[in-house]
Amino acid sequence: MCSGAEVAMMALMAAGSGLQAYEQQRALRRQERAAAEAMRRQQMFQERARRQVERTLEAFRPERRAERQAAAAEAEQEAFEDALAAARERAGGLIRQVAGRISGAYDTARARAVADETARAARIASLLARIRAPGLAGRQEAWRMGDLAVNLGMLGNFSRGQAGVDELAIRAAGRTSPWTMLAGDALKGYAAGRMMSAAYGRGRAGTSKLTIGGG
Amino acid sequence: MCGGGGGGSSEAAAMERERQRRIEETVRRINELFGDPAREQIYEQQAQAVGERLQMQLDEQRADADRMIRQALARRALLGGSADIDAQREIAERYSEGLLQAQARARDAAAGLRQADEEAKQRLIALAQGGLDVGTAAQQALAAMRANAEAARAQYGAAQLGDLFGGLAQLYQLGQVARGRRAAERENPYGTYFPRRGGYAGRVNGY
């Protein structure tokens, strides 16, 4: 049968263990919170990367690509036609007018030749613009992909750096307070010591000398 | 009782935040430099310079071809006729094609310079992520753009169009030679060793 003092000592030991267990649970909860924060930050980086990829994918939809190619073809054709017009103006026409008296048939033939040559040049300009447009649009797309790769690389860089920092934070959060653990050890040690000395005294005298408050 | 210590991890978090801020600032500065609207003018100038150089060659070739063909036509009193128009149409068509080629190459020159700038930009951004500071990044950006512009000037400074009209002028000249030969044969079908004046007798050797 345990005396009141022995029960008190056992309660002290339980309190010491309980204090340590409580501190460990607190540390575990802090660690879980830190890990959850770290996961949230990584998800944030993932989300930023996903948005960038989605924006780029949006730009690569077939209708957008077709629009870009059409715009590139239009810009090229405009530049070619401007150059042809400037050359004709500079030269006063690409099919020269012969000086002196000429026949009406010559005038008619010349006008037809001018019209034919102008139409032919415009047709070639249009074809050349359409041939070049996919390459020009593709070049712009390659630049866009390069920018995406660079941005994703930067996010990966930040993610890795943040992961390293978060790992330190998680470890730090999981550390128990040395003072609390020491207090628990002290309570357990004191209670164990008192119980052991009481058991030793009983062994010698046959009765327990342990009383609450000392002995 | 206090919880688990976090002094070291807090300092690490602050250092990481500062590192990311520096990288973002450097990348922003690089993008600013390479996205400067003044760069568009440089690309346009490149296209213009190459276009003008090729245009000069084209105009010179056209003038030479035009002169040679006019001489050939004038010798045959065909100036002002349908043959004259046909020749001029041929020259104009070749000139237009050459002009379009020149313009395409000029625009390719500008695009090539822009491509070189884009590659330099991406290289510098990769270096920025490795720790390149904003000042050094800006210096390297400007140096890369200057080097690209000089390389483009050197590459396209010697641009050549090729001979666009030579075949045509030769065709007219060969036509002149052929017509002269036919006229000579009509005059003397048996060649110069058998002059008609001396009759049809002659010595045949080697058969």
Structure-derived torsion over alpha carbons of residues B166, B167, B168, B173, reported in degrees to the nearest 10: 90
Asked if B99 lies within 8 A of A183 by C-beta distance, the reply is no
Query: What burial letters (b/e) apply to B58-70, b meaning 16+ CB within 10 Å?
Result: bbebbeebbebbb
Helix (H, G, I), strand (E, B) or coil at A118: helix
Q: Give the number of C-alpha atoms closer than 13 A to the C-alpha of residue A34, restricted to the C-beta side.
A: 26
Mutate to test the interface with A, among B84, B90, B96 (most CBs of A within 10 A): B96
Tally C-beta pairs within 8 A across A and B.
131
Q: Tokens standing for A211?
A: 């009383």
Q: Is A29 on the interface with B (CB under 8 A)?
A: no
| A184: pLDDT strictly greater than 60 | yes
Asked if B81 lies within 8 A of A125 by C-beta distance, the reply is no
* Local confidence band at B156 (pLDDT 50, 70, 90 cut-offs): confident
Spatial separation of the C-alpha atoms in residues A76 and B189, rounded to whole Å: 58
Sequence letter at residue A119: A
Note the pLDDT of residue A62: 94
Give the gap in angstroms from C-alpha B198 to the nearest C-alpha of chain A: 47
Helix (H, G, I), strand (E, B) or coil at A17: helix
Give the gap in angstroms from C-alpha B113 to the nearest C-alpha of chain A: 12
> Cβ distance A201 to A23 under 8 Å?
no
Q: What is the pTM of this model?
A: 0.73
Which residues of chain B make contact with A76, given a CB cutoff of 8 A? Answer: 107
> Cβ distance B33 to B141 under 8 Å?
yes
| B1: pLDDT strictly greater than 50 | no
Q: Write the pLDDT tens digit of every residue in B70-87.
A: 888 888 888 778 888 888
Choose the weakest-confidence range: A8-12, B65-69, B88-92, B186-190.
B186-190
- Mean pLDDT on B23-29: 94
> Cβ distance A129 to A76 under 8 Å?
yes
Structure-derived torsion over alpha carbons of residues A20, A25, A29, A32, reported in degrees to the nearest 10: 100
Asked if B20 lies within 8 A of A158 by C-beta distance, the reply is yes
| A146: pLDDT strictly greater than 60 | yes
Q: Write the pLDDT tens digit of every residue in A59-73.
A: 999 999 999 999 999
Q: Is A186 on the interface with B (CB under 8 A)?
A: no
On average, the pLDDT of chain A sits at 90
Q: Is A145 on the interface with B (CB under 8 A)?
A: no
**DSSP string computed for A23-66:** HHHHHHHHHHHHHHHHHHHHHHHHHHHHHHHHHHHHHTSHHHHH
Asked if B129 lies within 8 A of A146 by C-beta distance, the reply is no
